[in-house]
Amino acid sequence: MTPFNPEVALENLFFSRKKIAMEAHYLHKSHSHHIKNVVKEIKQIGFTLDVWTSPNTIAFLGIMAHAITNSWDLIDVVIEMPQVHSSHTGYNFSKVLFEFLNSYNLTNFLVSITANNTSYNSTLAARVEQILDSEEAEDNSPVGETPGKS
């Protein structure tokens, strides 16, 4: 076999499934690190959500971030695509979303959520508001006190 570009070594053209999995892992790690650095500078982020089910019935929640940087660059990026192990409800999606938001330390920068399924939008929005309110109450409570209890 002769490559089109003679500067490309043939051994770089063949990948085993382990090599592809390893490369995908490194790519994800690099992408996550880059995204975390980019969002450090952004104070308001909107998110869109979409559920996708693969042909072998594995469900994923696509999380896309939308923001404008200090230099007025528009950011629209698929920021995470976690697997959804539970039923497709707004309550369950809110748990998956908050696991992601906490892992990136983004709960304080959330300004909007747009989802495409009216059946779970209201529940998702209500649950997100409930979680944010409880986190805010915990953050503002004096040390040693439980929010809502005197």
Q: What is the mean pLDDT of the chain?
A: 80
User: Residue 48's pLDDT is what?
Assistant: 94
Q: Taking the model in full, what pTM does it have? A: 0.71
Give tens-digit pLDDT for 30-43: 888 888 887 778 88
Cβ neighbours, 10 Å, residue 86: 11
Please, are residues 98 and 131 in contact by the beta-carbon 8 Å criterion? yes
The answer, yes or no, to whether residue 140 has pLDDT greater than 50, is no
Does domain 18-140 bear CATH number 3.90.420? no
What whole-number distance in Å separates Cα of residue 84 and Cα of residue 64? Answer: 16
